[in-house]
Chain A
Amino acid sequence: MSNRVTNLLVPIISVILGLLVGAVIMLVSGYNPLEGYAALWNGIFGDMYTIGETIRQITPYLLAGLAVAFAFRSGLFNIGVEGQLIVGWFAAAYVGVAVELPKIIHLPLAIIAAAVAGALWGFVPGLLKAKFHVHEVIITIMMNYIALHVTNALIRTVSDGGDRTENIFASASLRSEFLENLTEFSRLHLGIVLALVMVGVMWFILEKTTLGFELKAVGFNKNASQYAGMNVNKNIILAMVISGAFAGMAGAMEALGTFEYVSSKGGFTGIGFDGIAVALLGMNTPLGVIFGATLFGSLKYGALNMPNAAGIPIEIVEIVIAVIIFFVASGYIIRLLLLRASAKKKEAK
């Protein structure tokens, strides 16, 4: 079997297997899997509105996935995407509420504020890792909690004790009349364009620039990078800063597009953590992140339709979705089985 055929077959078989096992789970729990999957399908592609909402859901996953993948490529495990996203969300919303400026200045300013906030939240663990060899996983996990509670406190302060800010000024919004009309007034916003541009930016940094060359070299082998005269510490900090900026922008998508405000949270959004799975599903490549984010975003949003349309409880739905993602992630096992099967065929000849 040629490599290309295998590469194509693996994800297809993985998804089918995942769907099958998901169906068994629904059957055993006494629900109709066909109805369930029809509801899932309609929840993703049912009409222009759901398609719009699905793409909206994919947008922050794209950026969160890029953030994790970028750090991974530089040999760092950024679990702090969640926290960086939260501070980015707040920063963008704050800039959106605090001032009113012409759109051409206001919107970029709000996005940049989110990126800077995320970058700052990534800079701290980067600095500690580079200077004191503190493992970034520990620091980023802790920074997540700090982000959550600090932004909650700030939201209360800026909203005079309320639990959400005002809506942002229209001049800072990513909403677009054109997209709303196209998708039957879904919350689809221009953020998807920004997210796709960022996919290109990550690809460009990694594959075309000297910075990307250094980041990848440091990610693979710090000793050889140092020998070759690269500044390993600078690269570690920079990787975390850029990763954090991507994560901050994911927050901006929620602040300026989906919600147009920020509210205090009882817990994490989960987008940052799902970003780890998105990045790994996409093998930490920019194009792979598009695939991973699309899968995650579609399933997450489409699943919301399953309780309503097919009467399947949300708990079962979440298990089914998790099973499908699990099988996609186990592509390696499928690849192995395919190779075995083709080897046997060869022997039989």
Chain B
Amino acid sequence: MEYVIEMLNIRKEFGTFVANDNITLQLQKGEIHALLGENGAGKSTLMNVLFGLYQPEGGEIRVRGQKVDIANPNVANDLGIGMVHQHFMLVENFSVTENIILGSEPTKYGITNKRDAAKKVQALSEQYGLNVDPYAIIEDISVGMQQRVEILKTLYRGAEILIFDEPTASLTPQEITELIQIMKRLIAEGKSIILITHKLKEIMDVSDRVTVIRKGQGIGTVITSETNPNDLASLMVGRQVEFTTVKGQAFPGEEILDIKNLVVQDYRGVEKVKSLNLNVRKGEIVGIAGIDGNGQSELIEAITGLRKVKSGTIFINGKEVTNMKPRKVTESGVGHIPQDRHKHGLVLDFPIGHNISLQTYYTKPISKSGIIDYNKINDKALQIIKDFDVRTQGPGELARSLSGGNQQKAIIGREVDRDPDLLIAALPTRGLDVGAIEFIHSRLIEQRDNGKAVLLISFELDEVMNVSDRIAVIHDGEIVDIVTPESTSEQELGLLMAGHTGHKESQDLTKKGEDQHVE
């Protein structure tokens, strides 16, 4: 078998920390080879070694059978290795062609020759069915299209081996389908692909073989057609993983959250939430299913006091909190796992310990008459880090340097630890691997079983289906239907989310056992 790339027994250390330990990855010509591992397992480190950004402490790299020393990314480029980064490296206000030639501009008498470059870009785009306009400006084109520009960039530089780093993280389902087609086209044209991901579904869909790494260790390589998502997940996490979250029956009690005729505008004055009614009871998880941008963000911001309500009322525990300050809402017993953990959830340049006390720093016992006892902040941080399995060097480490999953665990720890009557979880598992997702789901269910109300907002249908006791479907700022997971299907939810109401049979089905049905 011909290998285009062999990474044999690679070892990479950072100080005393071993990021890659004895990892072997062999890429055959013309295959899509998935590299699977949890967040922080060492996937990116391994690829940065291949791309010449890090020098390994042990092992060797062979390209087409020849032992090579990849001292920097230029060497990788010359060897025909190209990387499609997760966070695009594009100049927003440059054209597609300008971005592609950036760094190796073809010149004639010292003047860049953009027209020839654009022709070459056009030809490549057609050859691989990428459908990219060489003259389009980056900020005008969609995220999916920007990713294709990244792909073109590597092809333009003559890459034979393409590394895709978490390529679907920011794509819509439609764009993901297109990307998979593009990858298959690349293979058909003789390229080889390494796909870094922790999404099992994608691996099953596109890859030929999978190399699994766990906590920096190479676990092995398996053939995709001979495995299944369950086995892959266990290989990746190191134990059996439950996909369908186990949960007992819900025993809902009295109403905790009660929203009536809520109207909320966005910053341009457009009504994003329109006369919305919703309630959440003790001991139940209500999932809000909907397509991004249908008023979910505005709804949460209105409940938590971050955005003014135009009209309507919000009651928590029978107390009106409409248009109250965020702190008052928090103190009325609301916990909030925000949608954007970097923007709202964390002060990234604060130590993780400070972040864990972000809403309690002013209360006893941490503070007395305006003076903070930082030992108490430290103690609390240690407790949360332990209880919620936050992997960090300690409370003093900056939040910025934790991996996404661990940042999220710290936020969830912080919110759950305050024992709120209502927990709002907005996209709590975005970008996380199966192990972390399982952990977070079980924590949400634990809150429910402790008699708390949980409001879950998610764009992932299987998450909504698995975790919720009731599902409220939001479309264009209104709750168009409330269903139970047992009585609905992903297809039906998909239709409701897209605004297809009035299906008689589905309404009959969903009305069963429901008293809060909203017309």
Contacts and interface: CB of A to CB of B under 8 A. Distances in A.
A224 B326 CA distance: 11
Contact of A229 (B326, B350, B371): B326
B343 A224 contact: yes
Contact of A216 (B346, B350, B367, B371): B350
A213 interface: yes
A208 interface: yes
A187 B372 CA distance: 40
A229 B330 CA distance: 8
Interface in A175-230: 208-213, 216-217, 220-221, 223-230
Contacts of A220: 347-350
B435 to A, nearest CB: 26
Interface string B334-374: 00101000011111111000100011011000010011101
B411 to A, nearest CB: 10
Contacts of A213: 354, 361-362, 372
B345 A224 contact: yes
Contacts of B319: none
Contacts of B370: 209-211
> Taking each of A210, A213, A225, A228, which has the highest tally of chain B beta carbons within 10 Å of its own beta carbon?
A228
A210 B343 contact: no
A226 B372 contact: no
Nearest to B414: A228
Contacts, number: 64
B306 interface: yes
B386 interface: no
Nearest to B326: A229
A212 B331 CA distance: 21
Interface residues of B, number: 29
Contact of A227 (B331, B344, B349, B372): B344
B67 interface: no
Nearest to B361: A213
B338 A227 contact: yes
B119 interface: no
Query: Main SS of the interface on chain A?
Result: helix
Contact of B336 (A208, A221, A227): A227
Contacts of A228: 326, 358-359
Interface in A226-264: 226-231
Contacts of B361: 210, 213
Most B-side CB within 10 Å, residue of A221, A225, A231: A221
Contact of A224 (B330, B358, B367, B372): B358
Given A208-B371, A210-B367, A211-B370, A225 B359 contact: no
Interface string B402-432: 0000000000000000000000000000000
Contacts of B344: 223-224, 227
Contacts of A217: 347, 350, 354, 358
A208 B367 CA distance: 10
A224 B399 CA distance: 13
A217 B358 CA distance: 9
Interface in A258-280: none
B325 interface: yes
B304 to A, nearest CB: 8
B354 A209 contact: no
Nearest to A225: B347
B358 A208 contact: no
A223 B342 CA distance: 9
Contact of A221 (B326, B348, B362): B348
Nearest to B327: A229
A213 B367 CA distance: 11
Contact of B372 (A208, A225, A229, A230): A208
Contacts of A230: 327
Contacts of B338: 227
Given A213-B354, A213-B361, A224 B371 contact: no
Nearest to A218: B347
A231 B358 CA distance: 13
Nearest to A210: B362
Contacts of A208: 371-372, 374
Nearest to B355: A224
B327 A227 contact: no
Contacts of B328: 229
Nearest to B340: A223
Contacts of B343: 221, 223-224
Contacts of A225: 347
A185 B343 CA distance: 57
A229 B347 contact: no
Interface in A287-306: none
A211 B371 CA distance: 9
Interface of B: 304, 306, 325-331, 336, 338, 343-350, 354, 358-359, 361-362, 367, 370-372, 374
13 contacts: A209-B371, A209-B372, A210-B367, A210-B371, A220-B349, A223-B343, A224-B343, A224-B344, A226-B306, A227-B306, A229-B326, A229-B329, A229-B330
Q: Which 3 interchain pairs have the tightest Cβ spacing?
A: A229-B327, A227-B344, A228-B358
Given A212-B372, A224-B346, A227-B336, 17 more contacts: A208-B371, A208-B374, A209-B370, A210-B372, A213-B362, A216-B350, A217-B354, A220-B350, A221-B343, A221-B348, A224-B344, A224-B347, A224-B358, A226-B306, A227-B344, A229-B326, A230-B327
